[in-house]
Amino acid sequence: MQYPLKDSAGVHFVTDWAGTTNFSMRRPNFVVLHHTAQNSCDQTVKTFTTTSTQVSAHYVICRDGSVHHMLNDLLRAHHAGVSKWGNNTDLNSSSIGIEIDNNGFELFSDAQLASLIDLLGRLKRAYNIPAANFIGHADVAPGRKVDPSRFFPWKQLAEKGFGLWYDTAHTQIPPDFNAVQALRIIGYNISDSITAIQSFKIHFNPADTINKLTSSDKKIIADLVKKYQ
């Protein structure tokens, strides 16, 4: 059957529709973690169920460890906004968004982290998501987002198989090593190298708030680039 269509520029064309029966729903392949930057779960759930905000996430994890499942995993939530990781320029389309109730200036609670680890395990098994694809909002939106905050225990998560971590005990920095290009290979958008460094530090060297790469940062990056590429 032939029928006319218009593309986004208004150009008319004719296409053939020949329906296939061989399909399934798209599967998420990334998980993007956030902190809510709000003071209570109730406040966050309200934000995500109010149409005018246009924001949402698949899951919200409260301080007491309770989990609100807010959207089917196979649907697209509005949590990442303008985002880039590697060649992936629309994380909302390919990821599950998890908001962790935390104002950004405090530790995450043990109950919350236990629930998060359970949930991540379930998602990893259900969708076969690679360990490297568990990332933070700051990672995919440098300069625009800083969540989850420097209090987020990425190392602890990586030990459980969610995200990657480094081991620099035997790492040598290659003589011609370009650390910013290596950040790009890891996944960071380096169009602004300062904000890319900031996001890298939030995730991998949270105690250091200066957006300059030290020799120990370069060692970390030299190790990570081998794991992420």
* Active site annotation includes 106: no
Stretch that binds Zn ion, among 8-16, 88-96, 137-145, 158-166 (CB under 5 A): 137-145
Cis-peptide into 28, omega within 30 deg: no
Please pick, among 84, 99, 101, 112, the residue that the annotation labels catalytic. 99
Smallest gap from Cβ 103 to Zn ion, in A, equals 13
Among 58, 84, 137, 218, binds Zn ion (CB under 5 A): 137
Among residues 85, 113, 134, 147, which is the contact residue for Zn ion, using CB under 5 A?
Answer: 147
DSSP 12-77: EEEEE----S--------EEEEEE--SS-HHHHHHHHT-GGG----SEEE-TTS-EEE-S-TTS--
Site pattern 75..104 for Zn ion (x: CB under 5 A): ------------------------------
34 near Zn ion, judged by CB under 5 A: yes
Strands 30-35 and 95-100: what pairing?
A: parallel
Q: Check binding of 58 to Zn ion (CB under 5 A).
A: no
- The token pair that represents 180 in the structure block: 């910013």
Q: Which is nearer to Zn ion, 82 or 210 (CB)?
A: 82
* CB closer to Zn ion, 115 vs 149: 149
- CA neighbor of 141 nearest in space, from 89, 77, 213: 89
Coil vs helix vs strand at 15: strand
State the catalytic residues.
99
Residues of this chain that interact with Zn ion (CB under 5 A) are 34, 137, 147
